[in-house]
Amino acid sequence: MASQKIISIILLVLSTIAILACLVINCDAWIVYTVAIFGIPTWVLSLGLLTMAKPAPEDAEERIKEPFTGY
Amino acid sequence: MNLMAEILIQVVIAFLAGSLLLGLHRKVMARVQKRPGPPIIQHLIHSLKFFFKETAFPKTVSKVFYIGITFILALIWIVGVIAGPVAHDSLLILFGVYAVYKIVEHNSGSSSGSPYGKLSCVRAVLSAATELPLFAAIVFVYLVTGTMDIGEIIAYQSVHGPLFFSIPLAAVMFFMLIITKSPYSPFAITKDKVLISGFETEHFGLLRGFMHFSESIAWYVMLWVFLTIFFGPLNAVGYLIGMIVITFITGFINATTPIFSPNHSVMTQITIGAICFFGTVVMIFSGVVA
């Protein structure tokens, strides 16, 4: 979980910087498209990985063992 | 305007408008079925709420694949926003986006380790039948306008009038794709309730919210493309009215139609597609279409 958090923070920072750079600097269209296509989903996913609630330690094993529950 | 700013604005519009339209879709379905239904804003609230819900990754999943496929789903519909509303680029890119969407349905199911997801994954292969009418519709648009470029198709329509009136059966084929992708569609065999939530069954919490984000954008992009290539050129009010009307129509159809079994779904789609295909061919070669 700790490594997941670190990776999420790194990806969030990188995608934010890349998007802001394209907002501030007038880059070539292909660079902006590439940053948008990869940067926006990365930003949303990494933010979500940080905001999502984690199961309590005593419930963690039960949660991952109990698939097919839908929501 | 700065290109990145334009893309971000269009993505936010697509997400918000798509979410509200999907909320409206549920409301229409509920009213037709004499239920009060959830508020129109409910789909948007759900999408945001899931980002804060408790999320765990089941032991049975292929984790990189399981998370990666939701990333790909978002990625392809961002491409859809760029190729459509932002750049007015080629229809072939949007056809490619839709083709990859089928792959996402397939692999989302197979990555989950859930029997429901895997069955949905098999059905995703069958439901690829919807791509044939879509491809035929795009070919007819090309035959009439001589271009695949959305900007040039809009320019063609501003001179010759909306394509809906010259190749209506091609529009019907495209509309069938929209019905197929609408929630609770009679053709939604990959999300049949027999399979719980189909290929999305094991994607809950954050990942479900992320998929809702992508599907809201997908709904907006599909409606935008349909309105643009068959009713263009339109202004913002025209798009808004068109999207609401299509959402009403699909909501009404889905509320009054049960989900077909996979073989009936595929045969119905192919039959409607074939009738529209040959009808359009006859119209073109008999000179009805200029």
Instruction: Say if A48 is an interface residue toward chain B (CB within 8 Å).
Output: yes
Instruction: Say if B201 is an interface residue toward chain A (CB within 8 Å).
Output: yes
Interface of B with A in 77-106 (CB under 8 A): 78-79, 82
For residue B270, pLDDT beyond 80: yes
What is the C-alpha separation between B220 and B228, in angstroms, rounded?
A: 12
Query: Nearest residue on chain A to B72, judged by CA atoms?
Result: A41
Q: Which chain B residues are within 8 Å of A66, Cβ to Cβ?
A: 58
Query: Nearest residue on chain B to A56, judged by CA atoms?
Result: B54
Highest mean pLDDT among B44-48, B195-199, B204-208: B44-48
Q: What's the ipTM? A: 0.87
pLDDT of residue B88: 93
Instruction: Say if B191 is an interface residue toward chain A (CB within 8 Å).
Output: no
Please tell me whether residue A53 adopts helix, strand or coil conformation. strand
Q: Does B54 contact A41 at a Cβ distance shorter than 8 Å?
A: no
Q: Which chain A residues are within 8 Å of B5, Cβ to Cβ?
A: 23
What tens digit of pLDDT does each residue of B5-51 get? 999 999 999 999 999 999 999 999 999 999 998 999 999 998 899 88
pLDDT of residue A33: 95
Q: Does B8 contact A52 at a Cβ distance shorter than 8 Å?
A: no
Q: Which two tokens stand for residue B55?
A: 């999320």
Instruction: Say if A7 is an interface residue toward chain B (CB within 8 Å).
Output: no
Q: Nearest C-alpha of chain B: how many angstroms from A70?
A: 5
pLDDT of residue A71: 41
Query: Nearest residue on chain A to B196, judged by CA atoms?
Result: A70
Q: Which chain B residues are within 8 Å of A48, Cβ to Cβ?
A: 51, 206, 209-210
What tens digit of pLDDT does each residue of A6-55 get? 999 999 999 999 999 999 998 899 999 999 999 999 999 999 989 887 77
Query: Nearest residue on chain A to B209, judged by CA atoms?
Result: A48
Please give the mean pLDDT across all residues of chain B.
87
Instruction: Say if A5 is an interface residue toward chain B (CB within 8 Å).
Output: no
Q: Which chain A residues are within 8 Å of B115, Cβ to Cβ?
A: 68
Q: A29 — phi, psi (to 5°)?
A: -60, -40
What is the C-alpha separation between B130 and B265, in angstroms, rounded?
A: 10
What is the C-alpha separation between B19 and B24, in angstroms, rounded?
A: 9
Interface of B with A in 104-133 (CB under 8 A): 112-116
Across A13-17, A63-67, B126-130, B222-226, least confident range: A63-67
pTM exceeds 0.80, yes or no: yes
Q: Which two tokens stand for residue A39?
A: 């940067």
